[in-house]
Amino acid sequence: IVPANIAMYLTPLALAIWIMDDGGRMGYGLKLATNCFTYNDCVFLSNTLAELYGIKSSVQNAGVPNQYHIYVWSESMPLLRDLVRPYFVPSMLYKLAALALVHMLTLHSHGSSNPEGISSNAEKAPMHPYFIFKDLVTIILFFIALTALVMYAPNMLGHSDNYIPANPMQTPPSIWISNN
């Protein structure tokens, strides 16, 4: 049951915590989980968001009978993002959909890492033979060092408990199975 004075408690900090906990991207908007609330409670919360902050939202069925969530429309996302971003933990910013979308559209397009359009192929070293040779030398040196360690100092990485002879007449207590 949502209290009638929820507007007093629905601060930008409370909204940020709600989104970080139970919110998630859904298309271009944001879904707020309200599965435990009745339809009327969800409508009341949606209307409260509209009255307090001008955030347009709708109540949608969560896919299960009598369970609903609030969907914040994409046109209200910039307003919601500006409202809650100061309170967001940096690792949770992915929940604000447009930040990821803008990042992908601007930075992950062809030629975005080369704004001047000047080809730098002349400055690049070919993969073969330079990088292949460098990697091969590293692998061979590592193999030689590991082989030398195993062949000439096999006890260097061992543990002294490994050299205690086992007593074949005594079963360690940790192996016994209780038949109680």
Rounded Cα–Cα distance for residues 80 and 113 (Å)? 31
Q: Which amino acid is at 63?
A: G
95 and 27, same structural domain?
yes
Q: Per the domain annotation, does 175 fall within a domain?
A: no
Altogether, the residues listed in the chain come to a count of: 180
Model pLDDT, residue 41:
93
Q: Per the domain annotation, does 61 fall within a domain?
A: yes
Mean pLDDT over residues 31-40, rounded?
A: 90
Q: Per the domain annotation, does 116 fall within a domain?
A: no
Model pLDDT, residue 46:
94
49 and 87, same structural domain?
yes
pLDDT band at 103 (very low <50, low <70, confident <90, very high): low
98 and 131, same structural domain?
no
Peptide bond into 129 cis (omega under 30): yes
Rounded Cα–Cα distance for residues 36 and 39 (Å)? 10
Q: Per the domain annotation, does 160 fall within a domain?
A: no
51 and 17, same structural domain?
yes
52 and 23, same structural domain?
yes
Residue with tokens 């447009």: 98
Mean pLDDT over residues 103-118, rounded?
A: 61
132 and 93, same structural domain?
no
Lookup: tokens for 75: 């046109």
pLDDT band at 123 (very low <50, low <70, confident <90, very high): confident
138 and 88, same structural domain?
no
Lookup: tokens for 134: 């460098």
Q: Who wins on pLDDT, 94 or 15?
A: 15
Gyration radius of the chain's alpha carbons = 31
CB half-sphere exposure, 166, CA atoms < 13 A: 6
Mean pLDDT over residues 74-78, rounded?
A: 87
88 and 139, same structural domain?
no
Lookup: tokens for 137: 């030398």
96 and 17, same structural domain?
yes
Q: Per the domain annotation, does 168 fall within a domain?
A: no
Q: Which residue range(s) make up the domain with 135?
A: 126-155
Q: Which of 97, 85, 6, 84 is nearest to 46 (CA)?
A: 6
Evaluate whether 60 touches 16 at the Cβ level (below 8 Å). no
Q: Is pLDDT at 108 greater than 70 in this prediction?
A: no
DSSP state of 65: T
Give the burial string for 84-104 (b: 16+ CB within 10 Å, else e): beeebeeeeeebbbbeeeeee
65 and 14, same structural domain?
yes
Q: Per the domain annotation, does 119 fall within a domain?
A: no
Number of domains in the chain: 2
Backbone φ and ψ for 18, nearest 5 degrees, come out as -65, -45
